[in-house]
Chains A and B, each alone.
Chain A
Amino acid sequence: AQNTFSEMMECVFDAQNLISISLRKIQSSRTQRGGIKLHKNLLVTYVLRNARQFYMSKNLSQTQRTHHYEDVSAVRERQDYFELTGSLTELGDDFYCNFTGVESDTWHCGAHQPNGQPAEVPHQDASACAMLSPSDSDLMVSEACWSCADKSSWELPILNAQANQKTVLDLDTHVVTTVTNGYFHSDCCAQSKQPQGAQCYTKKRKMDTSYHIVDPEFYLPDFGPVPFKRMRTDEDLHSDSDQLDSTNISNLISVLGSGGLSEFVSWQQTDLEQIFAAQTICLKHTLLTGSGWTRAIEAF
C-alpha cells in the first residue's frame, strides 16, 4: 500500500513541477523578443490546466482523509464536467503551485519508467488511493495516476475548486500552500515529510531558483484577480475593492496575446467586484508564520 501511495505522490509532484515550470514559461515569455507568442502560451495553459486538474483531484483525496476542514463536504459537491476545451475563465481559480521543496528526480508519473514500459503497480482504484467512501467513488471514477489502465480519469471533474481553493507559490521560500475557503492547510506534499513518505524521495534534484524574481505586481490577469501582496486581514478585505483600479490592472502584464495588446486583457469586461468577492480569502494568521506573501505568483 505504501508503494502505491508513493507512486501517487510522485504523480502529484510531477504535476506540481509541471505547474511551476509552466508558470515560469509564461512569465519569461513576457520578456521574449518579438512579443508574446500566443500559440505557445496557449499550449502552456493546457499543460497548466491538465496538471492542475490532476493535482486538484489528488489533493482533494488527501484532504478528505484528514477531515480537518469544515469545507471539505462543500468542496466535494459535484461540479460540472470540466472540459479540457473549457474557457480560460474557468481557469480563473487562483492556483498556486505546490512546491514544498521535496523534489522528485523523475518527471514522469510512476507509470512512465525509463524503459518506456508502464510501472507495474497494483491497479489503483479510487477507493484505494483516496480512501473514499463508496458513495463518493463516482466522483473519482478512476484515480488519476497514470499507471491506471483506465485513462478515462481525464473525465474527472474539478471538484468545486473554483470558488474555494487557492494555491500560492511563495517565491522566497518556494513553499506552496493551498488555501481553501480561507483555511490554510498543508496539502499532501507536506504530509510526506513524515519519515515513511520521505523514503520515496531519496534522489534530489537541484532546484532551479533562478526564475523566482517577480515583481510583486505580477499576476496573470486573464486568470485571476489582483494578487495579495501581503497577508490579508479581515479589515483588508473591505478596502481591497478600492485597490482594483482598472487602469492599474490594464497596465499590468498581459500574458497572452501578441505582446502588450490591450485587447487581450479583457479586464474592462470583467466585473472586478464580482471576481474579488468570489476570491475572498481569509487566511488564518497562525498558519502563515514566517511566510512572506510579498512575492508570490498567483496563477489563474
Chain B
Amino acid sequence: INPGLVGITEWFLIVLRIADIISTVEFNHTGELLATGDKGGRVVIFQQEIENKNLPQFRSEYNVYSTFQSHEPEFDYLKSLEIEEKINKIRWLPQKNAAQFLLSTNDKTIKLWKISERDKRPEGYNLKEEDGRYKDPNTITSLRVPVLIPMDLMVEASPRRVFANAHTYHINSISVNSDDETYLSADDLRINLWHLEITDRSFNIVDIKPANMEELTEVITAAEFHPHQCNTFVYSSSKGTLRLCDMRASALCDKHSKLFEEPEDPSNRSFFSEIISSISDVKFSHNGRYMMTRDYLSVKIWDLNMENRPVETYQVHEYLRSKLCSLYENDCIFDKFECCWNGNDSVVMTGSYNNFFRMFDRGQRRDVTLEASRENSKPMQVLKPRKVCAGGKRKKDEISVDSLDFNKKILHTAWHPQDNIIAVATTNNLYIFQDKVN
C-alpha cells in the first residue's frame, strides 16, 4: 500500500473520456485494469501505464486496452418482455495466468469473459496459395513448420461461459468468492451460487419470495461475499437491513446469521421513509471487519460484531431531506448510488448530484465534496472542494440547493485498490483522478 495513502489529499484529472451512459465501474485486483460497462451492453477496459510508477512526480495514464460488446438486447417471447443489454455489474476474477477474466451481467444473464493478449502470430504455412485457396495436397512436397513472429499487440475478449436462465427477476449484484471457484448472483428476490466452470445449474441460497406475492414487503438490493471468509456473504434489503449469512449453516440461507438494522428515527418520518432507507449498495471493507451501506441520504459503516446500529454514519447530502417530494416526482429518489472503500479502508467515497462526489476520511473525521466536470477539471489543476449552501445566506463559491442539477448524478465510483487513483462516472463521461504527490 502506498505510504502516501493518508487522508483525502488533493486530486487532479488524468483521464477524461466521453462514453455512453456508464452503468458500472470496477478496478481489477491490482488496479492495473479498470473496466466500465455501459447502457449499450459494451465493456471498455483501461490499462494503467505503469512504467514510471516508482518515480517521483509519477502521473498515471490509463489507456483503452480493450472494448467489446458483452450483452445484446434480447426479447423474451414467452413473457413478452424486452431484456435490456445494460451492464449492471462487472467483477474481476483474481488473475491466475496471463489472461484476465471478468464477469459481466445484465438483468438476466451473466457472462465470463477472457481478455487475453496476442503479440505473436504464426507465419510460414505452405498450405495455401497467395490468394488463400488451399493448395492441392499432391503439390506439397515439403513440411514447413510455421514460426511465431512478433506482431502489434492485440487484445482479444472472448466469452468463455454464459450463465443464463437462472434469474426470474432483475439481477442487481454479482460477487466472486474468495475461493476463486464460485460466485453469487442476486436478483430482487433470490441469490444463486454458481461454480465458474458450470453453466447449466446453480444453487439457490437465498429466496425471500413470499408464497403469496401480495405479501411482498421487501426485496434484495445488493449482495457480496466476504473478502476472506468463503462461507460468508451479506445481502441488503429495500427495508434498510443487512443480513449476514453463513453457507455452512444450511443449504438455503434464508435464516441469517446476523441481522444488521438501525431503528428508524421517528422524528424523521415522512411519506418517503421507506424509499430513503432502502440500501442501494453494500461493500465489505478490504480487511473484512466492516461493511458499508449506502442509502439515499447517507453512508453507514457497520462493524460485523455490532448488529443494532452502525458504528459510523456520514451524511452525503442531508439538504435533500426537505426536497424529497420533488425528488420523488422526478424519480431521482430512486437513484441507486454506489459507494467504495479506499485501499486501506481509511476513506470512503460516494456520489451525489450536480456531478458532485463525496469522500469521508474515517480516521481524521474530515470530508470533502468534489466535482467532476469539464469546466473544473483542467489537466494538472487540483480539484477545488465544493460546498452546498443548505439555507441562509449563500457564501461566495457556495452552490445553493436550488441550483443543483439533478440530471447530473454520479452513481458509480471506484477506488484503485492500492494507489490514490479514483474513477468517477458522470452520465456521459468517465473521469479518472489521481492524488497530488508532493
Contact = CB atoms under 8 A, between A and B. Distances in A.
Interface of A: 14-15, 18, 21, 25, 33-35, 37-40, 42-43, 46-47, 50-51, 54, 84-85, 87-89, 107-108, 112, 114-116, 146, 151-152, 154, 222, 256-261, 263-264, 266, 269
A89 B217 CA distance: 11
A264 B266 contact: no
Interface in B58-111: 79-84, 86, 107
Contacts of B188: 38-39, 258
B266 A43 contact: no
Contacts of A35: 79, 81-83, 107, 170
A148 to B, nearest CB: 11
Nearest to A19: B271
- Which 8 residue pairs are nearest across A and B when measured between Cβ atoms? A107-B325, A46-B274, A34-B84, A87-B215, A88-B214, A259-B81, A260-B79, A89-B214
28 contacts: A18-B328, A21-B328, A35-B170, A38-B169, A38-B170, A39-B238, A40-B334, A43-B334, A46-B274, A47-B271, A54-B271, A84-B274, A87-B212, A116-B321, A151-B266, A151-B267, A152-B266, A154-B269, A222-B213, A222-B214, A257-B213, A258-B79, A258-B169, A259-B79, A259-B80, A260-B81, A263-B213, A269-B212
Contacts of B189: 38
Contacts of A146: 270
Contacts of B274: 43, 46-47, 50, 84
Contacts of B81: 35, 258-260
B304 interface: no
Interface of B: 79-84, 86, 107, 168-170, 172, 188-189, 212-219, 221, 238, 266-267, 269-275, 278, 319, 321-322, 325-326, 328-329, 331, 334, 390-392
Contact of B238 (A14, A42, A84, A87): A42
B271 A18 contact: yes
B328 A39 contact: no
Contacts of B82: 33-35
A14 B79 contact: no
A35 B390 CA distance: 37
Given A46-B274, A154-B266, A87 B329 contact: no
Contacts of A51: 271
> Which of the listed residues A40, A107, A258, A259 has the most CB atoms from chain B within 10 Å of its own CB?
A258
Contacts of B322: 108, 112, 114, 116
B369 to A, nearest CB: 19
B302 to A, nearest CB: 21
Given A18-B325, A116-B391, A269-B212, A42 B219 contact: yes
A116 B388 CA distance: 14
A47 B275 CA distance: 8
A246 to B, nearest CB: 16
A85 B274 CA distance: 10
B83 A34 contact: yes
A265 B269 CA distance: 31
Contacts of B391: 115-116
Contacts of B216: 42, 88, 256
A146 B84 CA distance: 41
A23 to B, nearest CB: 13
Contacts, number: 121
A107 B326 contact: yes
B271 A264 contact: no
Mostly, the B contact residues are loop
A44 B212 CA distance: 19
Contacts of B329: 21, 107
A46 B214 CA distance: 13
B334 to A, nearest CB: 5
B208 to A, nearest CB: 12
Contacts of B266: 151-152, 154
Contacts of A43: 238, 274-275, 278, 334
Contacts of A260: 79-81
A64 B116 CA distance: 75
Contacts of B107: 34-35
Contacts of B267: 151
Given A47-B272, A47-B275, 16 more contacts: A35-B81, A35-B82, A38-B169, A38-B189, A39-B278, A40-B334, A42-B218, A43-B275, A50-B273, A88-B216, A89-B212, A152-B266, A258-B188, A261-B79, A263-B168, A269-B212
> Which of the listed residues B86, B272, B322 has the most CB atoms from chain A within 10 Å of its own CB?
B322
Contacts of A107: 325-326, 329
Given A258-B81, A260-B80, A15 B213 contact: no
> Which of the listed residues A39, A43, A154 has the most CB atoms from chain B within 10 Å of its own CB?
A39
Contact of A151 (B269, B271, B319, B392): B269
Contacts of B83: 34-35
> Which of the listed residues B215, B271, B321 has the most CB atoms from chain A within 10 Å of its own CB?
B271
A260 B328 CA distance: 25
B320 to A, nearest CB: 11
A300 to B, nearest CB: 11
Nearest to B268: A151
A84 B266 CA distance: 13
B287 to A, nearest CB: 30
Nearest to B327: A107
A142 to B, nearest CB: 12
Contacts of B169: 38, 258
A84 B277 CA distance: 14
Contacts of A18: 271, 325, 328
Contacts of A116: 319, 321-322, 390-391
Nearest to A113: B322
